[in-house]
Structure 1
């Protein structure tokens, strides 16, 4: 009887532990990975590394000297040699280690076997990144980090570099305006486009940057952030007055750069500049980021007079996109669709927006508008985003590379509070003073329950 009772206790404990592990893996994958997934994956890698490399075709014949030494010392069969593996370094989302490639191998050989390595070691994904000639880093991700987004801890971001989302390889997706000055963000209703905008705007709000908004939906998207905005236009008429001021500001900054270039002979080369970042800090004008929400509203016209105003605004936007980078003026354009059917100048403006982020869209044509001309392989990934995964997007750039990203949840009240707290950072730009809006940020007397994550993204 006592043996039966002991067996029942042990069996019940095993069942409870197994059920707990399954529950943790589904509900709290980060906890499951830290407690159970990480040790198991390390054991798999250590015990099966040589055989897995051989099965994936990543081994090479040993050198003649090594073969002679093995034959003389052990008289064993000479086996192919896998790439030399470095130390395994655990992370909160997976593990990583470096491989020193054998002569004749290249990083593409390892990248081609990433899917087979994933299955062999039982992890969610394997990513390969070159480190230096002959060395690559394997990053193993233990679970789907985009299910519940938790941004990794980072230090204070550099100027105009904002960690705004999480990539599928567990690295932060950084919006770097100095590398990619202008960006287009497309997405259908409830796709998470507004959540991306909130994270980006609140990140910029903490930096010494002038934020300018054009929100032709009567300001419903950008008005809550008014305390931190240097200017806000809430309809096409106001946008038509604001854009010429920005163009004039850009021209004034070019005059400043030219004045700096017209210095006396014998001046050191490092004092000659072609953009504002080469100017002394005391003379450098503050960067300006222009947010254009629902860009299609600027293109829609009803009368011939509206058409003339539209053509003028589009021309000014194109000028800002073509020439604004050197003057420290950057564009962040978003909408549901941005194609040639909007009218003259739409395609030309889109071509200047080198960064692309595509959330869930209503048709394949919209995904092609965002990604088809820079990363055609990413169009299918954008079209496969499910409605129940708001905030999930595909980010691409003109290099042809792309990755899936997802923004963390940020409520409207939290984003508005950040803008109120950073209102003192609004820079002094006299030309934009008359466009400072008096619309107050939303002050809620009592907390309003947040909508579910699936609705807001």
Structure 2
């Protein structure tokens, strides 16, 4: 019985598909344009008696109705075709109102000209001037208003009709309004022209088109998708009817209004979104119906009954969801990973079992053609524009195409890892540019550490920097130590003010006390492996100390590495940085090092990532946003011209001075032999545990501890295999320590 019912449903759905063929809105618009110009040409030919018998009759009727204005028929059809082609018409957000407006404008245009023809003609003969229609318009006006008043009224209606047809504002727009329209029109409003009114289910994940209005879920960052599957999927997946969303484009227009941030010493104008490029193209997911049948048939061959559910088409992958029958273990489906990949000819294939928050299993298949997610399409979203946090940044789009955002204030630190060339640096650029669009220099300060010297140097001299981009490892360690001391200073400020965190402290500051304002500080390390190789103990200690305590005072870490090994991403670092961004890696071992679970080895690269939020137990697949070097250069050039940087020299001051400051010593000098050990290594100009054992006659454990203390105090360098350690202090400067 169940099979018969299902077969009936399939037959019904196929009938529905045949009765309701999918016709793209652009195709409909093209048909209207062709029809309009065809009618314009036919009527034009009839005026010269070269349109056959039809043309003769049409000319007689048109002269009777329009008089000397019979040529307006051809002009009206041509105007209608031109008006439909003009993109400016889509600003109303809906097709029907736009076409009705065109008809109203053209009708007013014809009647006003016919009325003018009539009042200029001699007498009131219906065939003179504007024909019968001109008589209907002009005769009452001449009778009650006279010649000149009638002429003024008709000419005013003529001007109004032209404004209506071409949607031209009488007063030129201001510069800010032009920017808003130019930003909104191509990215959102032009897409609404392509949006069809469909019958869809509120639970489905297919990217459907709505007509005229956009369903904005501002707080969750959801949006209706631009990348759309075939219309037949509605019937195939049994969609339910939903009413047309009635929300207007007001929320979207707000995306262009956040241009100036007040409250600083001056009004700082944020960079324009015109510096960033827009999304282009659509992903090609292949034959969706065929893939659904292959998945279902493959699982049935292994004795697993499933019910296919929604399909989500993302920029990189398409997610097919299914609901297993009762009694089916998820492990059985996961174990068929290779069989499904073979049947679908898809590699790499990823299975998410179950999808968080749903009783479904997701099978993610790479799209045949992928789409680059541009940063601009995300920064235009209201959730970003209206965010109360200055550290909100765009991640990208998930497998359903929904925009993804994150907040460093909530993380509060981020670890980025993956193989070379998988999109880590682009993700860092995406994060930094998002922050630059979200916060002014007085509210956000950056410390950029780039041992590779080529990745973050594009941000040199922007006003948000606390110091020039740091490329030397010793100065990087000094900057981390300065950040620790700055953290301690901020805690003292909060303690005296009686506040718990930086946000409550800044909100309580009066306008006359601007000097007490504490800006957020983000430290970005592009390659952690280089710093760990230089002095792993120092770097790890500083990162752990900051990660443990700096959230309350507004200091946040973003650490990136292309070597996801336990020597670089140590246990202490992982324990204190719970938010992670994993790009494609070579092996499952590397994935477990980053995420404590497998999955990153099945990613596609080019920005495809697994994002694990600190408050989540399972990662979420995201196609990261892309920002090019050209876009970064345009934004940074604007910022350099807008304001000069205000560097703090103590951030990049001499490392040895910072090391001797005593503000960050994990090991207290509690050994009575410390002074002797210091003198021994300074006089010998080398340091090793065996040297201290011989000279001080102590055991290995105590000698090693003394050596660690000397290293922490900056007197000796890190170990280098079997070679003795370097000594940084000369005999003449030993009294300073």
TM-score range, shorter chain: 0.5 to 0.7
Aligned length: 319
The DSSP-based 3-state class of the residue aligned with 1:227 is coil
Residue matched to 1:154: 381
Residue matched to 2:470: 233
TM-score, structure 2 normalization: 0.38
Contact between 2:595 and 2:612, CA under 8 Å: does it hold in 1? yes
Question: Per-residue deviation at 1:278?
Answer: 1.0
The DSSP-based 3-state class of the residue aligned with 1:414 is helix
CA offset digits 1:218-264 (Å, max 9, x no partner):
x2111111122322220211112211211111111101100011xxx
Question: Per-residue deviation at 1:383?
Answer: 0.8
Q: How does 1:130-141 map to 2 (within 5 A)?
A: none
| Larger-Rg structure | 2
CA offset digits 1:339-381 (Å, max 9, x no partner):
3334xx9320222111111111122221111111xxx3xx22x
CA offset digits 1:194-236 (Å, max 9, x no partner):
111111111112213111111111x211111112232222021
Question: Per-residue deviation at 1:276?
Answer: 0.6
Contact between 1:182 and 1:332, CA under 8 Å: does it hold in 2? yes
Contact between 2:608 and 2:624, CA under 8 Å: does it hold in 1? yes
Residue matched to 1:397: 613
Residue matched to 2:543: 317
Residue matched to 1:383: 601
Equivalent residue in structure 1 for 2:639, among 422, 445, 453:
422
Q: How does 1:323-402 map to 2 (within 5 A)?
A: 323-342=549-568, 346-372=570-596, 376=597, 379-380=598-599, 382-386=600-604, 389-398=605-614, 399-402=616-619
The DSSP-based 3-state class of the residue aligned with 1:350 is helix
Query: Following superposition, which runs of at least 4 residues in structure 1 exceed 3 angstroms of deviation?
Result: 30-45, 85-94, 123-131, 143-148, 150-153, 280-284, 423-435
The DSSP-based 3-state class of the residue aligned with 1:340 is coil
Q: How does 1:282-321 map to 2 (within 5 A)?
A: 282=509, 283-301=516-534, 309-321=535-547
Question: Per-residue deviation at 1:37?
Answer: 4.0
Mapped partners of 2:435, 2:623: distance in 1: 18
Contact between 2:312 and 2:320, CA under 8 Å: does it hold in 1? no
Q: Are residues 278 and 88 of structure 1, via their aligned partners in 2, closer, same or farther at CA, if it must alter by over 3 Å?
A: same
Q: Establish whether residue 214 from structure 1 lines up as the match of residue 449 from structure 2.
A: yes
Query: Runs of 5+ in structure 2 lacking a partner?
Result: 1-22, 28-190, 196-207, 210-226, 248-278, 284-304, 323-354, 510-515, 654-737
Question: Per-residue deviation at 1:284?
Answer: 3.4
Could you tell which deviates more after superposition, 191-200 or 395-404?
A: 395-404
TM-score, structure 1 normalization: 0.60
CA offset digits 1:99-141 (Å, max 9, x no partner):
xxxxxxxxxxxxxx997213799x854698879xxxx9xxxx9
CA offset digits 1:3-35 (Å, max 9, x no partner):
xxxxxxxxxxxxxx99xx9xxxxxxxx979759
Equivalent residue in structure 1 for 2:486, among 224, 227, 249:
249
Question: Per-residue deviation at 1:36?
Answer: 7.9
Question: Per-residue deviation at 1:148?
Answer: 3.6
Point out which structure has higher relative CO (alpha carbons under 8 A, 6+ apart). Answer: 1
Q: Are residues 425 and 321 of structure 1, via their aligned partners in 2, closer, same or farther at CA, if it must alter by over 3 Å?
A: farther
The DSSP-based 3-state class of the residue aligned with 2:617 is coil
Which structure has the highest helix share of the two? 2
CA offset digits 1:397-437 (Å, max 9, x no partner):
242132111223322132122122224467756465757xx
Equivalent residue in structure 2 for 1:193, among 410, 424, 435:
424
Question: Per-residue deviation at 1:176?
Answer: 0.7
Mapped partners of 1:146, 1:401: distance in 2: 25
Aligned-residue Cα RMSD (Å) equals 4.2
Q: Are residues 412 and 90 of structure 1, via their aligned partners in 2, closer, same or farther at CA, if it must alter by over 3 Å?
A: farther
